[in-house]
Amino acid sequence: MAINSIQFQKGLSMSEFIVRYGREGQCEAAFIQARWPNGFCCPRCQARTASQFRRGGLLTWQCGHCPHQTSLISGTMMEHSRLPFTKWFLAIYLITQSKTNIAALTLRRQLGISWRAAWLLKHKIMEAMRQREATKPLQGDVRIDDAYLGGELTGGRAGRGSDNKVPFVAALEVHNGKPMRVRFDPVKNFSFAALKPWASIALAPDCTVTSDGLLGFEVVERLGFAHRVVIAPKGKAGTEIEPFRWLNVVLGNLKTALSGTHHAFNFRKYAGRYLAESQYRFNRRFDLAA
């Protein structure tokens, strides 16, 4: 069997990570470079001259044009956090390098912090992933399907009407028959009204959409997208036909990763973050080291 070059890529080893980011000063310097690659820029007036000092150990700038003061972490997901940069960097490394998902309890053990701190840390990182992915529409050949996150509650409504199920649109960008990028977007339901804002954000203007004929997906035609309908047979055979095979593989991997990592979480409240975490990693799988 041929070796999958994506799965067998070198990535960034733990030992290499420690060499690069094992000390607080290294992480601080990397964060400064990432935030201001062309030098400090005042967030209030965009001036580039500033004096630099430390307040409570935190690097802070005072603009030379206006009196505004900006700490290194203000306006970022690290704002108000008391954790050192080394903990943040290690958490980001563990979450992004994992093939599946990593639970807050595991982060707690790996980082040596409280469960509450680990939970907040993970959710801040997932929210940053969600915001990052939200602005990147899919292009070209796009396959879409309706999907649900969560199972049925004992004694509750069954099927798609279950109170514990969160609907989301799974969309896959395909190049030459191979999956490239994916989007998992929670929606209120699969009506025209609910899918219209999704399509406007998730799909680039020139893409061609393939769906299984779900009535709500006709909204893509109303918005001017090219739309191809392929009616899939029922059962397992419907998941293996060419237009939807890769999409169903990706969905299967997503649900396996979530159920195998998390015993329970609030689907209604946090579905977008957990879906974005898997989406973020999938879309960057070609260069794990970065």
Residue 5 forms part of a structural domain: no
pLDDT single digits (tens) 212-266: 999 999 999 999 999 999 988 887 777 778 889 999 999 999 998 888 887 777 7
Which region among 4-8, 134-138, 269-273 has the lowest average model confidence (pLDDT)? 4-8
My answer on whether 72 and 112 are in the same domain is no
The yes-or-no verdict on residue 75 having pLDDT over 70 is yes
My answer on whether 122 and 145 are in the same domain is no
* pLDDT value of residue 111: 97
User: Listing from the earlier edge strand, what are the strands of the sheet with 166-175?
Assistant: 178-186, 166-175, 141-149, 208-211, 226-229
What average pLDDT does this structure show over 136-165? 75
pLDDT single digits (tens) 14-61: 999 999 999 999 999 999 999 999 999 999 999 999 999 999 999 999
My answer on whether 146 and 28 are in the same domain is no
Residue ranges of E strands in the chain: 50-55, 58-63, 69-71, 141-149, 166-175, 178-186, 208-211, 226-229
Q: What is the mean pLDDT of the chain?
A: 91
Range of the domain at 66: 13-76
My answer on whether 193 and 95 are in the same domain is no
* pLDDT value of residue 235: 77
The yes-or-no verdict on residue 156 having pLDDT over 50 is no
CB 43 within 8 A of CB 25: no
What average pLDDT does this structure show over 94-113? 92
My answer on whether 128 and 160 are in the same domain is no
pLDDT single digits (tens) 179-214: 999 999 999 999 999 999 999 999 999 999 999 999
Please tell me the total count of domains within the chain. 3
